[in-house]
Amino acid sequence: MSNRQGTSPPATVDGCPRKEHSQEGQRFAGVDWASEEHAVCVVDEQGRIVEGRRYAHDERGIRALCARLLGLAVKLVAIE
């Protein structure tokens, strides 16, 4: 039983509390992972494309991909 009075428990995902927050100003990325190169698309909270690029499947390319995602302040990445 909850010790909170008059409130319902927070929504959960797989038993973990879900954080409610605004997506305003956030960026998200999708990565199409492949054996020779990776296609990356970064979008804003409205789904508008911020940037689309390809990165080689080698150490230099992966480092560049990660650095770019950090530089664009991407909050969530989906890999296919």
Per-residue pLDDT of the chain (80 residues; tens, 9 = 90+): 445 555 545 554 455 554 555 566 899 999 999 999 999 999 999 999 999 999 999 999 999 999 999 999 999 999 99
Residue with tokens 């199409």: 32
Which contacts of 39-48 are long-range, i.e. CB under 8 A and separated by 24 or more positions?
40/65, 40/68, 40/69, 42/69, 42/72, 42/74
- Given CATH 3.30.420.40, say whether it is the number of domain 12-79: yes
Q: How far, in Å, CA of 58 to CA of 35, rounded? A: 10
What is the pLDDT at residue 13?
Answer: 47
Give the Cα separation of 58 and 11 in Å (integer): 41
